[in-house]
Amino acid sequence: MSIIRAEDEKKWINAFIALCSILAGFVVIRFVGQLGEWFDLEARIDYFLGLTQGLGILIGFVSFMFISRNKNSMNYFKEVYGQLTKVVWPDKDSVVKLTIGIVIGISIVSGILVLVDFIFRKLLAFIY
């Protein structure tokens, strides 16, 4: 059972590009804000916070437009989406069973490692 339908291709690709662009804008805002703290730009530049946020929004918008207008990137995203429509996702019961099995396995391995660590500590304390 696939969660993703082939009819929703454009919607999902645009949503992904929008999220990436928002992330790019956020990174720019944080980076320029950190530069402002390091070099005390808040005191030197009027409306530094507004300029920083405006630059982040501009970078986000430009990155969205650049990616969505680029034919190579859109073809790549369409191919990725086409492959995602072929994925068969597991049902809830199998996910829960596999998760419980992994947690039990990790618990057993970590218990063995704790026991080996304890034995080596006692041996080293006995020797020294």
Cβ 64 vs Cβ 18: under 8 Å? yes
- With 0.85 as the threshold, say if the pTM is over it: no
Per-residue pLDDT 10s for the chain (128 aa) are 556 676 789 999 999 999 999 999 999 999 999 999 999 999 999 999 999 999 999 999 999 999 999 999 999 999 999 898 888 889 999 999 999 999 999 999 999 999 999 999 999 999 98
- Buried (b) or exposed (e) across 102-124, using 16+ Cβ within 10 A? eeeeeeeeeeeeeeeeeeeeeee
